[in-house]
Chain A
């Protein structure tokens, strides 16, 4: 719901110039994770020795309170494996910063679930990428389906209503959308679907895993049919070029309304853009997070009006805006051109022109994958190479769709 005077400019246009504080702030608390998902956007696995201490994390929360950041999307790695996770969660909510956190469920015991049920300022998202163990565990690792299922049961039993069942859409789970919805309904949860992006380890598997062109259409129709009842974190706005705009703010928010604080305090334009190119600064600098958000040259640049490039002539540019910057960047496409999944097919044509060995594609800045699981390159059959002790949730980001239900003029 938008409240304003009719004469006002389109709000999405105003947002393009940025805000005094982010709306969709993701904060990844640790690179450590008990799992090792193939598509992990932050290439997590091992803790980084430079991760923010408890005191430093609290100082960040103090800043967020002063900036009136309404809530943070906490992820990782697996945030709950940080020994001070619950302390930080309580500290944030006591300081008027709401917390939405993503978890693979590993620490959601009955006791933790009861604790969460008692805090009005916390939302939980359980990550699951297959409606069956077969599909899920192929991507997230053996046992990860059962871990998530157990966590959801504990949350439901503790009376946590409306927690999120968070799914990254892939070629293998698009046929399961109805089944995901049923699982969510069964637990009194809300389904949240987000886009697979070629970020982190996701870059290595994106070609084989991203929804096939026909499936994009299937997804779009399914989303239209379910409207506001399914959250998307505004991540499928490139699909609006099929015709009708999907709910949400159709805009790449990177550096404008979205940003990431990573476990070592580095600030990036978007959680899906962990690369030097999108690194704006570090919260340990004298100006803190506030200084980075308001003053960084990178962010100022992103807040300038963007040209449509090759997309400018497209009739859908108004709603699609050329799609996702991170998806273009990590697939090696020009940032001012079409999205790799452009529904007009322009992205496919460009992808086909890349070198076969994908050499020269940008690599993420930080790779904390377990040493035992070296980053893979090139096509890998998805059902191979799982280790029981690996995987992490494809945490997201700007994804909590704060704009659910909002209809922009």
Chain B
């Protein structure tokens, strides 16, 4: 699965609501009426860090994602971007 450009700045879509759950989190997009899931807590941390991090790569680093896992997290963020849960922002 192609990821996003993790060297750019991203954020949650303004109409997306995030609800932490024991397994990770649920996301709901009030515009598209779609649900999505974050399957682990670290991914939730990454997503929460996006707003203040200059790049998605930095958001991953702040959440403690090992460099070897970056492609997987990038792919997960890519899936979120394709369903409009994430949007690019000007840093």
User: Which residues of A are found within 8 Å of B80, using beta-carbon distances?
Assistant: 1, 3
- Are A405 and B34 closer than 8 Å at their CB atoms? yes
User: Which residues of B are found within 8 Å of A14, using beta-carbon distances?
Assistant: 22-23, 39
Name A408's closest neighbour in chain B (CB-CB).
Answer: B37
- Are A5 and B34 closer than 8 Å at their CB atoms? no
Name A403's closest neighbour in chain B (CB-CB).
Answer: B35
Name A4's closest neighbour in chain B (CB-CB).
Answer: B39
Is A8 an interface residue when CB atoms closer than 8 A count as contact?
yes
Is A373 an interface residue when CB atoms closer than 8 A count as contact?
no
Bound: A8/B23 CA distance, A:
10
- Given A4, A19, A68, A403, which contacts B76 in the complex, CB threshold below 8 Å? A4
- Are A4 and B40 closer than 8 Å at their CB atoms? yes
1/0 per residue A76-106: CB within 8 Å of B?
A: 0000000000000000000010100000000
- Given A121, A123, A406, which contacts B35 in the complex, CB threshold below 8 Å? A406
- Are A23 and B26 closer than 8 Å at their CB atoms? yes
Is A20 an interface residue when CB atoms closer than 8 A count as contact?
yes
Is B10 an interface residue when CB atoms closer than 8 A count as contact?
no
Bound: A60/B72 CA distance, A:
40
- Given A8, A23, A120, which contacts B39 in the complex, CB threshold below 8 Å? A8
- Are B34 and A1 closer than 8 Å at their CB atoms? yes
1/0 per residue B1-43: CB within 8 Å of A?
A: 0000000000000000101111110101011011111111001
Most buried by A among B17, B33, B82: B33
- Are A3 and B26 closer than 8 Å at their CB atoms? no
- Given A3, A70, A120, which contacts B17 in the complex, CB threshold below 8 Å? A70
Considering the complex, which residues of chain A in the window 1-55 have a beta carbon less than 8 Å from any beta carbon of chain B? 1-6, 8, 11, 14, 17, 19-21, 23
Is B87 an interface residue when CB atoms closer than 8 A count as contact?
no
Bound: A21/B36 CA distance, A:
15
User: Which residues of B are found within 8 Å of A2, using beta-carbon distances?
Assistant: 36-37, 39, 79
- B interface, over-half SS: mixed
- Are A70 and B76 closer than 8 Å at their CB atoms? no
Is A404 an interface residue when CB atoms closer than 8 A count as contact?
yes
User: Which residues of B are found within 8 Å of A21, using beta-carbon distances?
Assistant: 19
- Are A123 and B33 closer than 8 Å at their CB atoms? yes
Most buried by A among B28, B39, B40, B83: B39
User: Which residues of B are found within 8 Å of A23, using beta-carbon distances?
Assistant: 26, 35
Name B42's closest neighbour in chain A (CB-CB).
Answer: A5
Considering the complex, which residues of chain A in the window 188-227 have a beta carbon less than 8 Å from any beta carbon of chain B? none
Is B50 an interface residue when CB atoms closer than 8 A count as contact?
no
Name A6's closest neighbour in chain B (CB-CB).
Answer: B72
Chain A nearest CB: distance from B12 CB in Å? 12
B interface residues (Cβ-Cβ under 8 A, vs A): 17, 19-24, 26, 28, 30-31, 33-40, 43, 69, 72-73, 76-77, 79-80, 82-83, 85
A interface residues (Cβ-Cβ under 8 A, vs B): 1-6, 8, 11, 14, 17, 19-21, 23, 68, 70-71, 96, 98, 120-121, 123, 402-406
Pull 25 A–B residue pairs with CB atoms less than 8 Å apart, ordered by A: A1-B34, A1-B83, A3-B36, A3-B77, A4-B24, A4-B76, A5-B39, A5-B69, A5-B72, A8-B40, A11-B39, A14-B39, A19-B22, A20-B21, A21-B19, A68-B19, A70-B26, A71-B28, A96-B17, A123-B33, A402-B33, A402-B35, A403-B35, A404-B34, A406-B36
Q: Identify the 9 closest CB pairs spanning chains A and B, nearest first.
A: A4-B39, A70-B28, A8-B39, A68-B19, A1-B83, A14-B23, A3-B79, A3-B76, A402-B35
